[in-house]
Amino acid sequence: MKEACLLLVAFVFGLAAVDVRAEPDPHSYAEPDIVAVRALDLELDVDFARQQLSGTAELTLDWRDPLAHSLVLDTRDLAIESIQGVAADGTTVDLAYTQDPRDPIFGSALRIDTKTAVPNVRIRYHTSPQASGLQWMTPAQTASGKQPFMFSQSQAIHARSWVPLQDTPSVRFTYTAHVTAPKALRVVMSADNDIAHALDGDYRFRMQQPIPSYLLAISVGELDVRSTGPRTAVFAEPSVVAKAAKEFEDTEAMIAAAEKLYGAYRWERYDILVLPASFPFGGMENPRVTFATPTVIAGDKSLVGLIAHELAHSWSGNLVTNANAQHMWLNEGFTSYVENRIVEAVYGKQEADMQLVVSAQELHTEMQGMKAREQLLVTNLEGIDPDEGLSGVPYDKGSWFLRFLESRYGRDAFDPFLRAYFDHFAFHSITTPDFLRYYSENLEGKFPGKVSSADIDAWLHQPGIPSFAPIPHSARFDAVDKAAADFLAGKLAARKLPARHWVTYEWLRFLNALPEKPSIAQMQALDKAWKLTGTGNGEIAFRWYVATVRAGYTQARPEIAAFIERIGRRKLVVPIYSELAKSEDGKAFAIAVYKKAKPGYHPMTQASVEKALGL
């Protein structure tokens, strides 16, 4: 009955009503054109001693080829104990299965002989302590030091390391879960979390909107909760929750701003889970509950653009999803565009303009070290780990492309188009050609002559940024640029910089203006005047520490060590390791620090750091 109800919900959302052309996913073994998972029912036990999830995953199947009798799923390091077919009347039969040899990137295909087109398959299994999508933390690695902690990170293809499923964003499913855990701990999932739930070790969840596998999420730990609005709350460790709730108190205003632009928020609640500092990303847009790094809690709301970004995914990404990683710009480019519109609506155009200028500047810098094919919005990632294929291109070039369309058509036309786009493709996974067909019919066709096919091709299929791109500008940065130029020319002492009231983006603009190799004297003067070494602002800190390494300003090394030992967010630590690795002395220092930091890093961060250090 439970699965039938969930399938009815999927039908109501109209999953078969939109013309979306199938495209093979190079990062999945699944064959959804033959049979697709439509619902998932999890029964899981959380065992911290073994660092293991164990239980069953029951999959409700949609057989698109009624003559087929084989189901292929994605797994990585899962121990399969048994598999049963479940008939409509509830009777079960054991099924034969094989697991292919492990591929270092894609894991192992699980091939199940179903004999007939059974409606459900039940898989009993347990995870490995080395599951790439889970991080198990000892009490010593948490804020209180009292309880262990575990969280998942399923994007891009890590869901397969803790659930056997079709691990491709082209497949969407509803899910339910029953999770048992130690009684002192709270379980949170990307589903309908009850903020008043007793800490009784017994949790049940339901996600009635169909989601792709990378949005499947779980966390278990010593978590307190604070309500921040009628449909928002913050989960965090007890010592962090009050600061986090204060920092994110504008979340309801962000939701309202986004709804005004792009239509109703369709996920009921929007909560935020602040994870330990080892979380490898700034945020992960798991539906109903964003997983966020504590490094965005700056105390002045200067970094809450990240929350605007993850919230924006409720429309672009979670609602309308890229069908595979080669079209990631459909997720991240749209989301970065929507994020900036939310920031403008809630915090003003000056803040939004500064964000655009910094993003454009840093994208240009990043592209200088990229191959031409890596600069394309639509990429070929066959045989490439999608984690390694990600860069600022789908985010910032994708957003810039949408701003270009906005500039040509005007917001009076572009805003309604985008709102209708989200409505049209809601709860579907699409490719760039799907977007272009919709764009051609609903924007280009209504306002001909404003954008050419050559313009579109330049954005999607050519490297770099087109020469006709609108150039963002911030009037507040004019003063920062003058101060930076005067300081670097020796005309303005560090202590005389007009930086006392600079916000984070002004500091980022200034630090990005430093030369490739600043002088030690310049770094010493800046540090003495503004105490940048040891700053609690992660965005300022990692840029400052990279500059100190380039300058040879080794006085910052103790704080660098403390920073990268404490924080596991890849964006903040990998550039520092990469810069240190460029010299023999720096590399030796980095390796020594990494040996201490490694146990507290997520497996994804470990892999990125080891690649940067050549280990």
Annotated active-site positions, please?
310, 395
Amino acid making up residue 406: E
Cβ-contact 15, 44 below 8 angstroms: no
Q: Which long-range contacts (CB under 8 A, 24 or more apart) does 481-485 make?
A: 481/509, 481/513, 483/510, 484/509, 484/510, 484/513, 484/514, 485/513
DSSP 103: B
Radius of gyration of the chain from its Cα atoms, rounded to whole angstroms: 24
3-state SS of 60-100?
EEEECCCCCCEEEEEECCCEEEEEEEECCCCCEEECEEEEC
Which residues make Cβ contacts (< 8 Å) with residue 386, sequence separation at least 6?
A: 27, 156, 157, 325, 328
Q: Other C-beta atoms within 10 Å of 334: how many?
A: 26
Cβ-contact 262, 411 below 8 angstroms: no
- For 188, the enclosing helix (H) or strand (E) is strand 186-189
Residue burial 472-497, b: 16+ Cβ < 10 Å; e: rest = bebebbeebeebbeebeeeebebeeb
Cβ-contact 88, 119 below 8 angstroms: yes
Cβ-contact 375, 463 below 8 angstroms: yes
DSSP 527-579: HHHH--TT-S-HHHHHHHHHHHHHHT-GGGHHHHHHHHHH---HHHHHHHHHH
199: left (phi over 0), alpha (psi -120 to 50) or beta: beta
**What tokens does 208 get?**
């009635």
Which residues make Cβ contacts (< 8 Å) with residue 460, sequence separation at least 6?
A: 376, 377, 378, 401, 432
By DSSP bridging, strand 172-180 and strand 35-47 are parallel
Cβ-contact 450, 408 below 8 angstroms: yes
**Among 524, 512, 574, 578, CA closest to 548:** 524
Cβ-contact 520, 556 below 8 angstroms: no
